[in-house]
C-alpha cells in the first residue's frame, strides 16, 4: 500500500547512511533532490519509534532554520533482506551538507570567536525558533551537528523528529536528572535540557574533544553528582574567564539555575554579570547513614533506594518518618498533607506486601528527589516518557514492563507521585495533566479500554502495535481495515482479530467503535445483532474511505451474521439467505450484507410466521388428540348427533305414514 | 372439524327450557289440530300418546326433548292409521271409544312407541359409529397438514427448540 512516497522520492536501499542512523531507524540515501530542490535522505522507522509528531507537524508547515527538517513522510514496502517485505514509516529529511562535528572523542575545535559566530549564534536562532513553539530539540551533540560548508562557518543541527526525545544522546549531553534511564524513556524535558546539551557541545567544540567520563555510567553519574558536571569536565583545563562564566552558566546541574537563551544572548552581546538564583535543593541537612554509607546528596540515596526497594522500605519503616525528615531535611517544610501522601508507617520489618513497600519507596524517592526520574519496581523512567516507554514495552512484548506501568497508573500511585513532586518538576507537572485525563481507561478492563487505550489516546500518532500487524504499518482507519482484510485471509484469525490493541485503536480512531465495545466481550467479531452493528460501521467506512472490495472482512462478518441467519426458522428462507450472504460476502461489499438482505426484518417476519405456524400445529395436535380418544355412544356429541338425526328420520317416517294414511 | 364448545350452563338451561316449550307447543298444537279436525280423535290420541307423555314425564336425560320428540314421532305414526277410522260427529266418538277399548289398538300404537324408544336407544351407537369413521378421516387430514407444516418449519415446531430447524425425520 501507499506507494505514493516512493513515487515522489527514489530511496536507494542499497546505499545506507549509517552516520545518519537514529535509534528510531536506519538512514538511506535518496536519489535526486526533493521537489523543493533540497538534498534529502530517508529514515526507515522501527515500529515503536514513530517519531515526534508535534515537531514534524511544525516542520512540514514551517521549516526551522539551521536544522535538518523532516519534509515528508509516508509508508513504504520495505525489504528486510530476509525475503520478507514489511510496511514501514519513512521520514524524508533534509540532508546536512557536511560531516558531524565530532567522531569518537575527536571534535572540531573552535576558537571563542568561531564558537560564538559559527555555532552559538545559529544555535540560538534555531533554539529560539523551537522553544518559541514549545518544542524541545533533545538531540544536541557534536555528533549530531553537521558542517554545512568546508570552513565550518555554518552548521546544521541534525534532525530531532524521528526518535524519542534524548534517545540518541550520549550520557554526557544529558542533564543529570535524565541519566541512568533507558534511552527510550528519557522524556521530552524542558528547554533547560537543550541549553545543557548546547553548553556541553560548545565546551567540546571549544576544547576540540569530547570529554571521556569512562565506560561506567554509574560511576560517571556519581562523579557528576558529587563534583558537579562542569567541575568534572573542566578540571585540569585552563578556560578564559569569559568562557568559564558561559560554561558554568549553561552547564550547571540545577535546571532552574541554568542560563536561558536570553542569558546566552546577553552574554554574546558582552554582558558578564548574569546570575541566576540556585533553587535545586538536593542535599541533606546532615549525612544519612544507609547500608554502611553516608549520603549527603538525596539523588544518590534515591538511586540506592531504587537498587533494592525492599531494604529501603525496611529502613524507612525502622524509625518515625516525620522525625527522620526533621533530622535530615530540617530546612524544608513537611506538611501533614505530604506526610499523608507519603504514608510511611513505622514497623519492625517489611509490610508484608512487596508491591506496597515498593510503592512507598517510590513515593519517598519522589519526595527526596522531585527533579529526578521515577523509580518503581525496578523501572526508572522520566515522568514525561511513560507513553514512549509503554510503546517500546508493547513492541518488544515486555510483559513485565507493561504490568509495572499498568500498576503504576492503575493503582493511583502516579497521581500521588505527581502531587508529591508538585510544580518542582516542571516537565512531570506538564505531562501529568494529559496523562491524568486519559488514565481512566487503564482501570477499565472492557474491550477497547485498558492500558492500550491509554497509549493510543495519549499517542494517537503511534501505529497499532497489535501482534497481528507485524509486517504492517497501521496508522489510521484505512490502514487498519486493509490490514484486517489481509489478516483474515486466514479465517481462524477472525476469532482473535479484535485483540486489545486493535479494539483500543479502533475505539480511539472512531467513537462509534467505542460505544460498540461497551457491550462487547471476547476478541472475535460478535454474533447476531452486535455483528450487524459492526457490519454497519465497517460498511459505512468502506464506502467513505473508498477502500474497494474487502472479501475477507465481508466473509468474516458473514460468518458472524450467520447466527442471525441460523436463527431463521423457515428452512427454505434460511438456506436462501445463507447463500445470498455468502454471495454478497464474495463481492467484498460489507454494507450490502445488511442493506440487501435486511436480515433484521426477515427475522421479524420469520418469527411472526413461525408463531402462526406453531399455533396452527398445536391446534391440530390438540384436535388429533381429542379425535384419537375414540367416540363412544355415551359421548355427548354422539348422543346429540344421534338423537338429532334420528329425530329428523322419525319425523320423515311420520310424514310418510301420514301421507300413506291420508292419501 | 372444529370442536364444538359446550354452551355455558346458563345458556344450556335456557335452550333446555326453550326445547321443552317447543315440545309442549308441538303436543298442544298437535292435539289442538286434532280437536279442530275431529274432536273424537282427541280421545284416541290421549290414550295413544300415553307412552310419549310417560317418556316426557319420566325421562331425566338432558336431551329429553329430542328423545321424547323421536318417541312422539313414532307414537304418532302408530296413531295415524286409526285417525282415519275415527269419523266426525257422534259416530266418531263411538268409533273412538271402540278403538280405545280395543287391545289391538294399544298393541299397534304402543309397538310404534316402543320402536321409537328402541331407536332412541340405538341412535347414539349409530351416531358414535359414524362419528368414529369421520374422526378417523379427520385424523388423516390432520396428519397430512401437520406433516406439511413440519416439512416447512422443521421439528422446532413441535417445541424441539435446539435442533435449528431439522426436518421431521
pLDDT digits (tens, 9 = 90+) for A586-597: 999 998 888 887
Mutant choice from B116, B123, B125, B162 vs A, greatest count of A C-beta within 10 A: B123
Report the gap between the CA of A580 and the closest CA in chain B (Å).
19
Interface test with A, best of B65, B72, B112, B124 (most A CBs within 10 A): B124
Q: Which range (A153-167, A514-528, A628-642, B128-142) has the least confidence?
A: A514-528
Q: Which residue of B has its CA nearest to A661?
A: B81
- In chain A, residues with a C-beta closer than 8 Å to the C-beta of B146 are 617, 620-621, 624
Given a cut of 80, is residue A413 above it in pLDDT?
yes
Mean pLDDT of A345-364: 81
**pLDDT the model gives residue A350:** 55
CB-based burial of residue A21 (10 Å sphere; 0-12 exposed, 13-18 middle, 19+ buried)? middle
Residue B107 pLDDT > 70, yes or no? yes
Give Rg (Cα) of chain B.
26
- Cβ of A650 within 8 Å of Cβ of B145? The answer is no
Give residue-wise pLDDT tens across range A14-46: 899 999 999 989 999 998 777 777 889 999 998
Out of A569, A627, A642, closest to residue B153 by CB? A569
Query: What is the band of A613 on the pLDDT scale with cuts at 50, 70, 90?
Result: very high
Q: How far is B147 from chain A (nearest CA, A)?
A: 9
- CB–CB contact A634 B63 (8 Å): no
Q: Which of A650, A653, A656, A661 to mutate to test the interface with B (most CBs of B within 10 A)?
A: A650
Residue A551 Cα, gap to closest chain B Cα (Å): 28
What residues of A are in contact with residue B69 (Cβ under 8 Å)? 647, 650-651
**Minimal CA separation from B146 to chain A, in Å:** 6
Q: Where are the domains of chain A?
A: 4-94, 283-443, 486-605, 631-663
A494 CB-near residues (< 8 Å, 6+ apart): A488, A524, A525, A556, A559
Residues of B in contact with A568 (CB under 8 A): 165
Total CB pairs under 8 A between chain A and B: 141
A 10 A CB-CB count for B138 gives 16
Closest by Cβ to A621, choosing from B76, B146, B165: B146
Output the CATH code of domain A4-94: 3.30.200.20
Burial letters A283-317, b for 16+ CB under 10 A, else e: ebeeebebeeeebbbbbbbbbbbbeebebbbbbbb
pLDDT tens, position by position, A128-182: 999 999 999 999 999 999 987 666 678 999 999 999 999 989 999 999 999 989 8
Provide mean pLDDT across the span A69-95. Answer: 87
Q: What is the average pLDDT across A569-576?
A: 86
Does position A336 have pLDDT exceeding 80, yes or no?
Answer: yes
pLDDT the model gives residue B168: 43
Chain A CB contacts of B70 under 8 Å are 643, 646-647, 650
pLDDT band at residue B4 under the 50/70/90 scheme: very low
> Are residues A642 and B83, on separate chains, in Cβ contact within 8 Å?
no
Q: Answer yes or no: do A636 and B84 touch at CB < 8 A.
A: no
Inter-chain CB proximity B119 and A569 less than 8 Å: no
Residue B122 has pLDDT above 80, yes or no: yes
Q: What is the mean pLDDT of residues A424-438?
A: 85
Contact B70 A646 (CB under 8 A): yes
pLDDT at A364: 94
Residue B89 confidence class, pLDDT cut points 50, 70, 90: low
| Chain A hits for B128, Cβ within 8 Å | 631-633, 635, 638, 642
| Nearest residue to B73 via CA among A264, A96, A653, A592 | A653
A621 has a pLDDT exceeding 70:
yes
Average pLDDT of A379-387? 91
CB contact under 8 A, B135 and A631: yes
Test mutation, A616, A640, A643, chain B, max B CBs within 10 A: A643
Mean pLDDT, rounded, of chain B: 80
pLDDT at A2 > cutoff 50: no
CA distance A646 to chain B (A): 6
In this model, does residue A343 exceed pLDDT 80? yes
Task: Work out the minimum CA distance from B85 to partner chain A, whole angstroms.
Answer: 10
Alpha-carbon dihedral A44, A182, A434, A459, rounded to 10 degrees: 20
pLDDT for the residue numbered A78: 87
pLDDT score at A528: 74
B83 within a domain of the structure (yes/no): yes
Instruction: Mark yes or no for CB contact B80/A642 under 8 Å.
Output: no
Of B66, B128, B152, the CB nearest to A643: B66
Three-class DSSP category at A59: helix
pLDDT reading at A56 higher than 50? yes
Kindly list the residues from chain A whose CB atom is less than 8 angstroms away from the CB atom of residue B6. Answer: 636
- Mean pLDDT computed over A432-455: 88
Yes or no, beta carbons of A643 and B63 under 8 Å apart:
yes
Q: Which residue of B has its CA nearest to A606?
A: B153
Position B169 scores a pLDDT of 39
pLDDT band at B165 (very low <50, low <70, confident <90, very high): very low
How do residues A399-410 score in pLDDT, each as one tens digit?
Answer: 999 999 999 999
Overall domain count for chain B = 1
Is B16 inside any structural domain? yes
Q: Are A28 and A42 in contact (CB under 8 A)?
A: yes
Give the per-residue pLDDT at A401: 93
Contacts of A309-312 spanning 24+ positions with Cβ under 8 A: A309/A354, A309/A357, A309/A358, A309/A361, A309/A362, A309/A375, A309/A377, A310/A350, A310/A354, A310/A357, A310/A358, A312/A361, A312/A364
* CA-to-CA dists, residue B79 to A609, A653, B21, B41, B83, angstroms: 63, 13, 23, 10, 6
Q: Choose among B131, B135, B136: nearest Cβ to A641.
A: B131
Query: So what's the pLDDT on residue A91?
Result: 92
Residue A543 · residue A549 · CB < 8 Å: no
Q: How many angstroms separate the CA atoms of A561 and A595, rounded?
A: 13
Tell if the CB–CB gap between B165 and A643 is shorter than 8 Å.
Answer: no
DSSP string covering A526-549? PPHHHHHHHHHHHHHHHHHTT---
Q: Give the model's pLDDT for residue B10.
A: 59
Contact check, Cβ <8 Å, A647/B167: no
Q: Is B63 within 8 Å of A640 when comparing Cβ atoms?
A: yes
* Mean of per-residue pLDDT scores for chain A: 88
Q: Give B54 to chain A, closest Cα distance, Å.
A: 18
- Domain residues for the domain of B32 are 9-121
Q: Do A657 and B77 touch (CB under 8 A)?
A: yes
Which candidate from A574, A630, A650 shows the least CB-CB separation from B116? Answer: A650
| Banded model confidence at residue A566, pLDDT cuts 50, 70, 90 | confident
Flag whether the ipTM exceeds 0.85: no
Average pLDDT of the segment spanning B81-92? 72
B161: nearest CA partner in chain A: A569
Q: Is the pLDDT of residue A415 over 50?
A: yes
Amino acid at each position: 500500500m501507499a506507494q505514493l512516497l516512493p513515487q515522489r522520492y527514489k530511496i536507494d536501499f542499497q546505499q545506507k547512511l549509517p552516520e545518519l542512523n537514529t535509534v528510531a531507524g536506519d538512514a538511506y540515501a535518496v536519489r535526486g533532490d526533493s521537489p523543493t530542490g533540497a538534498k534529502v535522505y530517508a529514515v526507515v522507522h522501527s515500529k515503536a519509534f514513530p517519531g515526534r509528531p508535534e515537531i514534524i507537524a511544525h516542520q512540514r508547515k514551517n521549516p526551522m532554520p539551521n536544522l535538518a527538517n523532516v519534509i515528508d513522510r509516508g509508508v513504504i514496502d520495505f525489504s528486510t533482506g530476509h525475503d520478507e517485505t514489511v510496511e514501514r514509516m519513512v521520514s524524508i529529511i533534509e540532508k546536512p551538507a557536511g560531516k558531524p562535528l565530532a567522531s569518537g572523542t575527536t571534535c572540531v575545535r573552535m576558537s571563542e570567536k568561531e564558537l560564538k559566530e559559527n555555532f552559538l549564534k545559529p544555535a540560538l536562532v534555531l533554539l529560539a525558533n523551537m522553544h518559541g513553539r514549545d518544542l524541545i530539540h533533545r538531540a544536541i551533540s557534536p555528533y549530531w551537528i553537521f558542517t554545512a560548508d568546508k570552513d565550518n562557518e555554518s552548521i546544521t543541527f541534525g534532525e530531532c523528529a524521528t526518535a524519542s526525545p534524548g534517545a540518541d544522546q550520549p550520557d554526557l549531553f544529558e542533564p543529570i536528572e535524565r541519566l541512568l534511564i533507558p534511552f527510550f524513556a528519557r522524556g521530552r524535558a524542558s528547554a533547560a535540557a537543550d541549553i545543557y546539551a548546547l553548553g556541553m557541545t560548545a565546551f567540546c567544540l571549544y576544547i576540540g574533544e569530547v570529554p571521556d567520563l569512562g565506560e561506567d555510567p554509574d560511576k560517571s553519574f556519581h562523579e557528576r553528582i558529587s563534583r558537579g558536571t562542569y567541575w568534572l569536565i573542566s578540571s585540569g583545563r585552563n578556560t578564559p574567564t569569559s568562557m568559564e562564566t558561559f560554561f558554568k552558566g549553561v552547564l550547571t546541574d540545577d535546571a532552574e539555575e541554568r542560563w536561558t537563551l536570553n542569558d546566552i544572548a546577553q552574554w554574546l552581546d558582552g554582558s558578564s554579570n548574569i546570575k541566576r538564583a540556585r533553587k535545586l535543593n538536593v542535599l541533606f541537612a546532615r549525612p544519612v547513614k544507609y547500608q554502611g554509607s553516608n549520603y549527603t546528596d538525596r539523588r544518590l540515596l534515591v538511586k540506592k533506594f531504587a537498587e533494592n526497594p525492599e531494604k529501603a522500605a525496611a529502613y524507612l519503616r525502622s524509625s518515625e518518618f516525620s522525625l527522620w525528615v526533621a533530622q535530615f531535611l530540617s530546612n524544608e517544610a513537611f506538611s501533614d498533607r505530604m506526610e499523608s501522601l507519603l504514608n510511611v508507617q513505622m514497623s519492625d520489618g517489611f509490610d508484608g506486601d512487596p508491591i506496597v513497600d515498593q510503592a512507598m519507596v517510590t513515593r519517598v524517592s519522589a519526595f527526596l528527589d522531585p527533579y529526578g526520574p521515577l523509580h518503581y519496581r525496578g523501572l526508572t523512567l522520566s515522568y514525561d516518557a511513560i507513553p514512549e516507554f509503554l510503546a517500546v514495552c508493547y513492541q518488544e512484548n515486555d510483559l513485565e514492563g507493561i504490568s509495572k506501568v499498568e500498576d503504576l497508573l492503575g493503582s493511583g500511585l502516579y497521581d500521588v507521585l505527581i502531587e508529591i513532586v508538585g510544580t518542582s518538576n516542571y516537565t512531570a507537572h506538564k505531562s501529568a495533566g494529559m496523562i491524568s485525563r486519559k488514565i481512566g481507561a487503564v482501570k477499565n478492563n472492557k474491550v477497547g479500554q485498558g492500558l492500550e487505550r491509554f497509549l493510543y489516546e495519549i499517542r494517537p500518532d503511534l501505529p497499532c502495535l497489535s501482534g497481528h500487524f507485524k509486517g504492517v504499518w497501521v496508522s489510521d482507519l484505512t490502514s487498519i481495515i486493509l490490514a484486517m482484510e489481509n489478516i483474515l485471509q486466514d479465517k481462524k484469525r477472525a476469532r482473535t482479530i479484535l485483540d486489545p490493541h486493535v479494539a483500543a485503536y479502533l475505539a480511539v480512531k472512531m467513537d462509534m467503535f467505542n460505544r460498540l465495545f461497551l457491550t462487547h466481550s471476547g476478541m472475535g467479531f460478535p454474533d447476531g445483532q452486535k455483528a450487524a452493528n459492526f457490519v454497519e460501521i465497517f460498511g459505512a467506512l468502506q464506502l467513505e474511505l473508498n477502500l474497494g472490495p474487502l472479501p475477507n472482512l465481508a466473509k468474516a462478518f458473514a460468518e458472524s451474521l450467520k447466527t442471525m441467519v441460523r436463527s431463521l426458522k423457515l428452512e427454505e428462507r434460511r438456506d436462501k439467505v445463507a447463500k445470498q450472504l455468502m454471495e454478497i460476502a464474495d463481492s467484498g461489499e460489507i454494507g450490502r450484507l445488511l442493506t440487501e438482505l435486511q436480515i433484521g426484518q426477515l427475522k421479524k417476519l420469520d418469527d411472526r410466521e413461525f408463531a402462526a405456524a406453531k399455533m396452527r400445529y398445536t391446534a391440530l395436535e390438540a384436535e388429533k388428540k381429542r379425535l384419537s380418544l375414540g367416540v363412544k355412544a355415551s359421548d355427548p356429541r354422539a348422543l346429540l348427533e344421534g338423537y338429532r338425526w334420528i329425530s329428523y328420520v322419525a319425523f320423515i317416517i311420520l310424514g310418510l305414514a301420514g301421507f300413506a294414511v291420508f292419501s | 372439524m372444529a370442536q364444538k364448545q359446550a354452551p355455558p350452563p346458563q345458556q344450556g338451561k335456557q335452550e333446555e327450557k326453550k326445547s321443552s316449550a317447543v315440545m309442549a307447543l308441538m303436543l298442544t298444537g298437535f292435539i289442538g289440530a286434532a280437536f279442530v279436525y275431529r274432536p273424537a280423535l282427541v280421545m284416541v290420541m290421549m290414550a295413544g300418546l300415553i307412552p310419549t307423555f310417560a317418556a316426557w314425564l319420566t325421562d331425566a336425560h338432558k336431551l329429553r326433548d329430542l328423545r321424547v320428540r323421536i318417541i312422539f314421532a313414532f307414537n304418532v305414526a302408530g296413531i295415524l292409521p286409526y285417525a282415519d277410522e275415527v269419523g266426525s260427529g257422534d259416530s266418531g266418538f263411538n268409533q273412538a271409544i271402540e278403538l280405545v277399548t280395543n287391545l289391538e289398538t294399544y298393541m299397534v300404537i304402543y309397538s310404534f312407541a316402543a320402536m321409537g324408544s328402541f331407536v332412541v336407544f340405538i341412535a347414539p351407537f349409530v351416531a358414535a359409529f359414524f362419528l368414529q369413521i369421520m374422526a378417523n378421516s379427520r385424523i388423516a387430514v390432520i396428519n397430512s397438514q401437520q406433516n406439511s407444516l413440519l416439512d416447512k418449519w422443521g421439528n422446532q415446531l413441535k417445541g424441539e427448540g435446539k435442533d435449528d430447524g431439522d426436518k421431521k425425520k
